[in-house]
Each structure stands twice: as structure tokens, then as C-alpha cells.
């Protein structure tokens, strides 16, 4: 099997690479030092298995696994972790494999032998586990663009706007389309985005103010971009309150 190794510690990556090289039928096709790099390398290399640390700076392993699962043919993810027995038992009973650091050769062999490609149920498990570990709020939004995955940091997003079954993600480098419910995005990013319309969420950080149009409607003006998002009468009091508190 083709394996990608993900860990923020070079020595940990080196150790895993050495262990894999001693196993017949497996090869290391690449390495990544954090979650974001892991997603990008998966799209580039299309590995069969990802050996991934959980706790990494920036995007952690749990969030990276959720993004990786959106690939057309997602790899199996085997976590490498220093979590205690209680957390490890949770992974084991939910059929998401793990390797306890320091990784032993026999355990690695068994994990690779049992590795399976992700199913929808496994993705749901990753999401549930992320919530349990306090990592339910993503640092990035991921979308499929042709045959690759595109990541956008949530701190660079101006707004989400829903239309039909898609949501437009307007960010500092352009736009992306994702297939997620605006309601779910509103719940996940409640601390950073404000609902201004039934079809729109705007980033609090980028709101420059409210403007009244010639038709009498209120619109959000943004820092850095000229876009305008209409504010519904229902959400106007909440928006005004947010602006007063800014």
C-alpha cells in the first residue's frame, strides 16, 4: 500500500518511515508536517493509507481527516497518538484505528493489514470524535475543485451565501462552492459569523458597516471588498446590536 506519513515532529516521521520500509508490500510515498499539508499531499499523491498524528499546530489530525474524506477516493486514516487509554478505547470501538506512540512494528503491521477505505459512517465518526475532543469548529473550509481539494482558512472568509443546494464561500482569493447546509455552518461558526439573512452569514471581523440602498433595504458593507449582502428585517436588530458592541 502507498502510505503518507503526517506528523509535526521530524523524528516521529523518520521512525515511521523506517518501520514501513521494513514491511513488505508497503511504501512511503510522501510526508507532511501538519494537517493542511496532509490534505494537499493527499490530493497530489492519492495514497492508500495516511498515518497521521492527532495533535499538531494549526489544523489537527481530526480536522484534516474530515477534509481528506471528501476526496473522490479517500484513503484510510490511521491515527498516531499519545492519548490515554480512555480516548484510545473510543477510537477502537468506533473502528477508527490508531497507533500509540512510540509505534511498535507489530502494531503497525496489524493496523495496515486491517486498513480499509473510508465509508460515510467513518466520516460521521470522525466528526463525532472531533466534537468530543473540542475540535468541532474547523480552521479551514474544504471544497472539491475539479480533481483536487481546495482549502480556505476560515479567517480569510468574508461570507457564506446559500443558493439552491450550494453555498458560495467568498474569501480573500475568490469564491468556492460547497455542498453544506447554511444552518450547520451557522451553528459551527456562531462565535465568528452572524446570520444577516436566511441565505447569508457574514464574518464579524470583516463587517465595515450598514448602508441603506436607494430601494430602502439595508446591506452589509465589507472591509477590503466591494460586495454587499442584504440584511433581512428579521435579522436587522441583531446586526445593529452586533455593530454597536464592536
CA-to-CA separations, 195 to 38, 111, 224, in angstroms, rounded: 32, 44, 20
- Nearest by Cα to 115 from 99, 131, 133: 99
Say what the pTM is.
Answer: 0.71
60-88 tens-digit pLDDT: 888 898 898 888 788 888 888 876 654 55
222-237 tens-digit pLDDT: 999 999 999 999 999 9
CB-CB neighbours of 27 under 10 Å = 12
Asked if residue 74 lies in contact with residue 29, where contact means CB atoms within 8 angstroms, the answer is: no
As given in the structure block, the three cell numbers for residue 199 are: 441565505
**Domains of the chain and any CATH numbers:** 2-132 (3.40.50.2300), 140-245 (2.40.50.1020)
Amino acid at each position: 500500500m502507498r502510505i503518507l506519513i503526517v506528523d509535526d515532529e521530524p523524528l516521529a516521521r523518520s521512525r515511521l518511515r523506517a518501520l514501513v520500509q521494513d514491511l513488505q508490500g508497503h511504501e512511503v510515498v510522501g510526508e507532511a508536517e501538519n494537517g493542511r499539508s496532509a490534505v494537499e499531499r493527499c490530493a497530489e499523491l492519492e495514497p492508500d493509507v495516511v498515518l497521521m498524528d492527532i495533535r499538531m499546530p494549526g489544523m489537527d489530525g481530526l480536522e484534516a481527516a474530515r477534509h481528506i474524506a471528501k476526496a473522490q477516493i479517500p484513503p484510510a486514516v490511521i491515527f498516531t497518538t499519545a492519548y490515554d487509554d480512555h480516548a484510545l478505547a473510543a477510537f477502537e470501538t468506533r473502528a477508527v484505528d490508531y497507533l500509540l506512540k512510540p509505534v511498535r512494528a507489530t502494531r503497525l503491521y496489524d493496523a495496515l493489514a486491517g486498513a480499509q477505505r473510508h465509508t460515510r459512517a467513518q466520516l460521521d465518526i470522525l466528526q463525532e470524535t472531533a466534537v468530543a475532543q473540542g475540535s468541532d469548529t474547523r480552521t479551514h473550509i474544504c471544497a472539491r475543485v475539479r480533481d483536487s481539494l481546495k482549502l480556505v482558512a476560515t479567517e480569510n472568509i468574508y461570507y457564506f451565501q446559500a443558493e439552491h443546494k450550494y453555498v458560495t464561500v467568498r474569501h480573500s482569493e475568490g469564491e468556492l462552492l460547497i455542498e453544506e447546509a447554511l444552518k450547520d455552518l451557522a451553528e459551527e461558526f456562531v462565535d465568528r459569523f452572524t446570520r444577516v439573512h436566511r441565505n447569508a452569514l457574514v464574518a464579524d471581523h470583516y463587517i465595515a458597516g450598514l448602508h441603506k440602498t436607494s430601494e430602502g433595504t439595508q446591506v452589509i458593507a465589507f472591509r477590503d471588498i466591494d460586495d454587499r449582502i442584504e440584511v433581512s428585517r428579521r435579522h436587522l436588530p441583531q446586526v445593529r446590536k452586533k455593530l454597536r458592541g464592536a
